[in-house]
Amino acid sequence: MNNKALIVTGVVIFLLIVLFPFWYMRGKAAPPPEVELTPKAKAAQKCVRSTEYMRAEHMQLLDVWRDSVVRESKRIYVNPDGKEFNMSLSNTCLDCHSNKAEFCDRCHNYASVRPYCWSCHIENPKEKT
Amino acid sequence: MDSSRRRILQLLGISALALTTRPVLDAFAKEQQATGADVIIKEGDKVLKARQWAMVIDTRKLHSEAELEPLIEACHTIHNVPKLLNKNHEIKWLWGTHYHNAFPGKAARFIAEEVEQRPFLVLCNHCENPPCVRACPTKATWKRDNDGIVFMDFHRCIGCRFCMAACPFGARSFNYRDPRPFIQETNKKFPTRMKGVVEKCNFCAERLAVGQIPACVEVSKGALAFGDLYDPKSEVRELIRTHFTIRRKQTLGTEPCVYYIV
């Protein structure tokens, strides 16, 4: 164990590099994003499900929607309040939330998730190309 | 103790199981919530139903490429089909072709000149025994039980193109490039595709779901008919009964559901 000094220096340098980002960003947590609702979404007040549910589980909901529409050809979703929705990302979700940049992207960027829904589904049904 | 090592490993295994079961069960439970008991997932009220959708094309009413154009245009516009000028990259759902390409084989050596000159409108035949479905390794294409449409799930397509090799009608196109820049007018209500997936005619399943007939039939001014092949009273069966019809490559046994009156 003649290399003790070398090993300790190596470990210290390793720890410094690994811990640098934590030290550098200490106390400066990025603020959670604030999503903006369009006037239409505000007026509707309630989404397909409760806000808490949508916030946490919208991906599961969309997954079920996708499978029901594409693979079972069932296109209507009746929520617990008995309200009917056409299960469509572009035509239902983005009809209200027509501000993808301020609504979807802000959270997705913050959470560093990159859903590829929009490589096929059109971002904003109302936007003119 | 001799067995201590084994005991520790057992304990570790059991605790790992105990720690991981919960999140897995939770994930399943969440999916349940989306479909749960208080939620109903159903078909629309206006949906058109059939055991097997079929089409009859009266080629006597379509004399020139120019007359096919509005039908192709209607289909390609609503489905966001890109227009790629490079023949190798072309995407086609509905197109016109020459008699000898539509009906190859030796059935007719000398045929009526007028028939030979006609353009033939071709599309996916929605075969009753579809070879593309058997070729697909991911079940991205399958025959729908409820109406016989050979459907595509673009989410699941991995772009292997086995289906294209299997289809004897060349009805499938592959997106070699990102199609978006080549879509002239985007229909906001229908998704586009992405690079690396196969696409083809879907018999306007999205229109049937809201009670509309396929777009090409709608704009064909009576040259195309659409209906249930197994309903003896349907328009297609009436036409098949009263006219001589042919199908493309019948001898292959794929049972195409597009009939041509010649």
Looking at residues B138-148, what average pLDDT do you find? 95
Q: How does the average pLDDT of chain A come out, rounded? A: 88
Q: State whether residue A122 sits within 8 Å of chain B by CB.
A: yes
pLDDT of residue B25: 87
pLDDT grade, residue B105 (50/70/90)? confident
Residue B143 vs residue A101, higher pLDDT: B143
Shared domain for B72 and B19, answered yes or no, is no
Residue A100 in any domain: the answer is yes
> Which amino acid is residue B112, in one-letter code?
A
Q: Please give the interface size between A and B, counted as residue pairs whose CB atoms are below 8 Å apart.
A: 72
Please indicate, yes or no, if residue B34 is contained in any of the structural domains. yes
CA distance B162 to B233: 37
Residue B196 has pLDDT above 60, yes or no: yes
A74 at interface of B, judged by CB pairs closer than 8 A: yes
Tell me how far apart the alpha carbons of residues B93 and B138 are, in angstroms, rounded to a whole number: 22
User: Is residue B110 scored above 90 in pLDDT?
Assistant: no
Residue range of the domain that includes B24 = 1-41
In a domain, B46, yes or no: no
CA distance B30 to chain A (A): 7
Helix (H) or strand (E) holding B173: strand B173-174
Residue B77: which CATH number? Answer: 3.30.70.20
Question: Is residue A86 in some structural domain?
Answer: yes
Given a cut of 60, whether residue B1 has pLDDT beyond it is no
Same domain membership, residue B83 and residue B23 = no
AA identity, residue B201? C
Are B16 and B103 found together in one domain?
no
**Residue B47, in any domain of the structure:** no
- pLDDT single digits (tens) A12-43: 999 999 999 888 888 777 788 888 888 888 88
Mean pLDDT of B208-221: 95
> Which of chain B's residues have a Cβ under 8 Å away from the Cβ of A64?
31, 34-35, 41
Residue A110 lies in a domain: yes
Query: What's the confidence (pLDDT) of residue B48?
Result: 93
**Cβ density class B70-86: b for 16+ within 10 Å, e for less:** ebbebbbbbbbbbebee
Binned at pLDDT 50, 70 and 90, residue B34 comes out as low
* Of residues A57, A64, A66, nearest to B155 (C-beta): A66
Check residue B95 and give its pLDDT: 96
Any chain A CB within 8 A of the CB of B145? no
- Give the model's pLDDT for residue A32: 84
Indicate which of A81, A93, A119, A123 best probes the interface with B, i.e. most B CBs within 10 Å of its own CB.
Answer: A119
- Closest C-alpha among B37, B29, B39, B19 to residue A57: B29
Residue range of the domain that includes A103 = 45-119
pLDDT at A1: 64
Percent of the residues in chain A that have a pLDDT greater than 90, as a whole number: 47
Q: How many domains does chain A have?
A: 1
Please indicate, yes or no, if residue B48 is contained in any of the structural domains.
no
Q: Say if residue B37 is in the same domain as residue B64.
A: no
Q: Is residue B219 predicted with pLDDT exceeding 60? A: yes
- So what's the pLDDT on residue A128? 45
- Range B12-41 average pLDDT: 83
CB contact under 8 A, A76 and B42: yes
Show which of residues 2-61 on chain B sit within 8 Å of chain A, judged by CB atoms.
Answer: 30-31, 33-35, 38-44
Q: Does A10 map to a domain?
A: no
Kindly tell me if the per-residue pLDDT of A125 is higher than 80.
no
Per residue in A1-12, pLDDT (tens digit) is: 678 899 999 999
Task: Judge whether residue B84 has pLDDT over 70.
Answer: yes
Quick one: CA torsion of B194, B199, B204, B208, rounded to 10 degrees?
Answer: -80
| ipTM > 0.90 for the complex | no
Mean pLDDT, residues A98-118: 90
For residues B131 and B256, what is the distance between their CA atoms, to the nearest angstrom?
A: 11
pLDDT score recorded for residue B170: 94
Token pair, residue A89, equals: 């990302």
Helix ranges, B62-221 (H): 65-78, 99-102, 113-117, 131-135, 162-166, 205-208, 215-218
The total domain count for chain B is 2
Contact assessment for residue B123 and residue B93, using Cβ atoms and an 8 Å cutoff = yes
Contact A124, A98 (CB under 8 A): yes
Summary mean pLDDT of chain B: 92
Q: Say yes or no: B131 and B15 in one domain.
A: no
Handedness of CA B206, B212, B214, B219 (dihedral sign): negative
Query: How many angstroms separate the CA atoms of A56 and A129, rounded?
Result: 32
Q: What string of DSSP letters covers A22-42?
A: HHHTTT-PPPPP-PPPPHHHH
- What local confidence, expressed as pLDDT, does residue B111 receive? 86
Residue A128 contacts B where some CB pair is shorter than 8 Å = no
Nearest to A88 by CA among B81, B188, B36, B197: B188
Please give, rounded to a whole number of angstroms, the shortest distance from the CA of B102 to a CA of chain A: 30
The verdict on B193 touching A (C-beta cutoff 8 Å) is yes
The pLDDT tens digits for B42-52 are 888 899 999 99
d(CA B251, CA B129): 12
Angle at the Cα of A125 from the Cα atoms of A120 and A126, rounded to 5 degrees: 150
Amino acid making up residue B127: C
Q: Do A120 and B193 touch (CB under 8 A)?
A: yes
DSSP strand pairing (B258-261 vs B53-58): parallel
Name chain A contacts of B30, Cβ cutoff 8 Å: 57, 60
Q: A36 vs chain B: nearest CA distance in angstroms?
A: 23
Query: How confident is residue A114, by pLDDT bands cut at 50, 70 and 90?
Result: very high
Give the separation between CA B256 and CA B253, rounded to whole angstroms. Answer: 8
B19: Cα separation from own chain's centroid: 45
Contact B219, B74 (CB under 8 A): yes
